[in-house]
Amino acid sequence: MARLRSLKTQLKAWLESPEWRQRLPEIAEGGMASAGPLMAFLMYEPVMRLRSAVALGTLAASLYPEHPEQAKDVMRRLMWRMSEESGNIGWGVPEAYAEILVQCPPMTKTFCGMLLTTVIDLGRDDNYCDNDVLRRSCFFAIGRFLQARPEYGASIRQYLRKAVAEDKDPFCRGYAAWALGKLPSDLNDAFALRRLAEEGGQEMCFITDGDHSWQCTVSEIARLVLAGKAPEDGPKG
């Protein structure tokens, strides 16, 4: 137990450091022992949450060549945390899904559906995330994934567009617009984005890449995406 506490303290210090990206190889060297503490950090504030997710991606990618089942086990443990049976809300799990898929491409075909279907409501027993606050993370995570892997956009674009137009949570609409902006522009997206921009929603979305952060209103995100831009093009926080 003392060893675990010591490891958790060390990992937390590394991830809180401005040089956290340089520590990722050392974190990955810890193997599966690092997985538990990193998953615990997913419940922290957004910047730490994303850094922990990135570290989990690095860990899975490091494990996969020689120990693919261990890498898959990291994803399975995340899937359990997202399930109702676990009793958890699943904070940070979508971000971790995305970072693992980005850094470990061999796992994408098997597991990308677990991320993308979190925002697809089929009106029946499915993988849709009906918790509004957690669903915001799902859209953000999908945006992160599509930024690195835009080739998967064709399978999710129509659902992002639908969310921009219809999601009951205004923050989700903003994050869905941000995710849509990670794909090449498409005239079919314009109507939903223009409608969102014109509504003038002032709900503030928080965007981070782990190093810098941006805050932008829902309506402003829609306007930026229509113009082919993103909040990240503005001043860094």
Three-class SS of residue 204? strand
Q: Please give the torsion angle defined by the CA atoms of residues 59, 62, 68 and 70, in that order, rounded to the nearest 10 degrees.
A: -30
Dump pLDDT digits (tens) for 8-30.
999 999 999 999 999 999 999 99
Task: Extract the tokens encoding 169.
Answer: 């949570």
Token duo for residue 92:
């940070």
CB 159 within 8 A of CB 119: yes
pTM (global) more than 0.85: yes
- 83-89-94 Cα angle (round to 5): 75
Q: How far apart are CA 51 and CA 16, in angstroms?
A: 9
Q: What's the pLDDT tens digit per position in 55-114?
A: 999 999 999 999 999 999 999 999 999 887 777 789 999 999 999 999 999 999 999 999
| CB 164 within 8 Å of CB 180 | yes
User: Is the CB of residue 115 less than 8 Å from the CB of residue 141?
Assistant: yes
Residue 181 has pLDDT above 80, yes or no: yes
**Among residues 212, 201, 210, which one has the least CA distance to residue 176?**
201
Question: For all residues of the chain together, what is the average pLDDT?
Answer: 94
Buried b (16+ CB within 10 A) or exposed e, 159-185: bbbebbbebebbbbbbbbbbbbbbbee
DSSP for 115-155 reads: HHGGG---SSSSS----HHHHHHHHHHHHHHHHH-GGGGGG
H helix or E strand, kind and range, residue 205: strand 204-208
Q: What are the respective helix, strand and coil percentages of the chain, to the nearest 5?
A: 70, 5, 25
Q: What is the mean pLDDT of residues 176-201?
A: 96
